[in-house]
Amino acid sequence: MTVRLVALPGDGIGPEVVDATVEVLTTLAGDAGLDLSIDRHLIGGAAIDETGDPLPDATLNACIKSHGVLLGAVGGPKWDDPAATVRPEQGLLRLRQGMEVFANLRPTKMEPALADASPLKPDRLEGVDLLVVRELTGGIYFGEKTEGTQEASDLCSYHAGEIERVVRLAGDLARQRRGHLTLVDKANVLATSRLWRSLTTAIVGDEYPDLTFDTMLVDAAAMTLVTRPAFFDVMVTENMFGDILTDETAAVAGSLGVLPSASLAADGPGLYEPIHGSAPDIAGQGKANPMGTMLSAALWLERDIQRANLAERLRTAVSRCIASKQTTADIGGALSTSEVASAVRQQLEQTGG
């Protein structure tokens, strides 16, 4: 069977990190005998310039029919006018909706070689290996809005089905890891959080009694992430809290450049992308770190095509490059984006099939 991956280079450094990752995936697939087909399509500002649409129909259709989607980044100063009727970010939101992805996974595992890049003391970084599962379709970002010069409002709304499916996913993932699930909410203030807490407590009690389960208010969770980050295994939370806390976990790890993400659908391909933005200030200079994109591709190998062995080989190759400083300058190396790709490929070739 041919495995079809759609590559969406996007804007800024997106094409550079996607190109580097495609190069590595091609090497890995060839070595493993995986019949891999990679199709490139437009999204974001590049798509606006070419077609006037940040997500052309051809792009969305290809993504839906694929076995997975690898995204670089969207946006940049050229398209930054907030009053514009067409913006790059609209393409990303429509892509998520069209692919029906409902949960965003953000793993953070501390690489010992990056400890000095973290703002936290080394003793607080020992054993950090956590996963945030963020709900993507509900909450304040999608609620009814009013906006005026003197008053504005954003409705935060959740229904049971949105909560239950992401909690079950988080529970399954916790079982595959260290068996510890933490619900992050604001149940002392918000009605939506009280619904999250009651439903999650019931689901865990009925379906996941083997898990260690606790709840934590979002402000306490934010503090714990910088005082005791190794406490967490799997965190599950609503859309806005997840958006904020995952940026904090990136700071804990010391670099945006090495962190991956996956957005998953109930049935269908997932969307895989690094957590960093389009970084237009360094675009085209060979300075972009492709490792977050490569590790996102590892998530794709693991989840969408069930090739955990290939995912682990890719992660090991990246980790070895980090340990030997075969990296871009943002994490202490001196290689260009393409040179990092070559270094990772060399590590893959050394480990063999």
Q: Does residue 64 contact residue 270 with C-beta atoms inside 8 Å?
A: no
Q: Which residues are paired to 71 by β-bridges?
A: 8
Strands in 180-185's sheet, in edge-to-edge order, are 36-40, 3-10, 69-73, 271-274, 260-265, 101-109, 129-135, 234-237, 180-185, 212-217
- Note if 219 is an active site residue: yes
Tell me the two tokens of residue 257. Answer: 């450049």
**3-class DSSP assignment, residue 101:** strand
At position 285, the amino acid (one-letter code) is: Q
At position 284, the amino acid (one-letter code) is: G
Q: Which residues are paired to 103 by β-bridges?
A: 135, 264
User: Within a 10 A sphere around the Cβ of 195, how many other Cβ atoms?
Assistant: 18
For the chain, counts of helices (H) and of strands (E):
12, 12
Q: How far is CA 284 from the centre of its chain?
A: 23
- Checking DSSP bridges between strand 180-185 and strand 234-237, what pairing results, if any? parallel
Q: Does residue 317 contact residue 344 with C-beta atoms inside 8 Å?
A: yes
Q: How far apart are CA 344 and CA 252, in angstroms?
A: 24
What is the signed CA dihedral for 65, 341, 253, 249, rounded to 10 degrees?
A: -20
Query: In angstroms, how far apart are the furthest CA atoms of the chain?
Result: 64
At position 96, the amino acid (one-letter code) is: R
Q: How far apart are CA 194 and CA 198, in angstroms?
A: 6
- Note if 186 is an active site residue: yes
In the set 35, 210, 219, 281, the catalytic residue is 219
In the set 19, 185, 243, 330, the catalytic residue is 243
Q: Does residue 337 contact residue 286 with C-beta atoms inside 8 Å?
A: yes
- Note if 243 is an active site residue: yes
Q: How far apart are CA 145 and CA 27, in angstroms?
A: 48
Q: Give the catalytic positions in this structure.
A: 141, 186, 219, 243, 247
